[in-house]
Amino acid sequence: MKNHVLRPLWVVIALIVTVLLVRKVMVPADFGVHGRNFTYGFHRLGAIDDWKAFPVKYRGREVCAECHEDKTAENASGKHRIIQCENCHGPVMNHPENPEALPIDRSRALCLRCHTSLPYPTSKRGNLPAIDPNDHNPDAVCSECHNPHNPDL
């Protein structure tokens, strides 16, 4: 074969070898078809145990109702009824065994992530009742005036 044919051939062969070597190094040994077909079987076997070991952090508001009946009822009757308790109070997995571990966040930032005015016409975020944080009682904590569990005006 002529040189100008051979040279690109060597380049292609070198490329394929490189790809195979890189694949050998990068792809975990337990990755493959574990199961009957490619659609669902194609995965890393160790991923199953990894996800089983993944710590659960949230419990959902049904659990809170057992002990905080008043707050749950209050929350369910107001405009914040669609917001999970743990959205504001953080993950509650180790509570109440350890109630001190659940500090209450009274910062303005907690509320402003949803209520800062962002008038994007193409986004539902723009429909939330909104304030300008620099004008709206800038030095005061929101919950001094608004009940976070039932903020109806």
* CA gap 84, 62 in Å, rounded: 10
Query: Are 64 and 53 contacting, i.e. CB atoms less than 8 angstroms apart?
Result: no
Among 31, 44, 83, 150, binds ligand HEC (CB under 6 A): 83
Q: Which residue has the tokens 């990755």?
A: 31
Nearest CA to 107 out of 59, 148, 64, 56 is that of 148
Query: Are 74 and 150 contacting, i.e. CB atoms less than 8 angstroms apart?
Result: yes
Tell me which stretch binds ligand HEC (CB under 6 A): 8-16, 23-31, 47-55, 93-101: 93-101
Nearer to ligand HEC, 49 or 66 (CB): 66
Nearer to ligand HEC, 53 or 82 (CB): 82
Widest Cα–Cα separation across the chain: 87
Q: According to CB under 6 A, which residues from 35 to 64 bind ligand HEC?
A: 59, 61, 63-64
Tell me which stretch binds ligand HEC (CB under 6 A): 8-16, 23-31, 35-43, 112-120: 112-120
The number of residues that bind ligand HEC (CB under 6 A) is 51
Q: According to CB under 6 A, which residues from 3 to 42 bind ligand HEC?
A: none
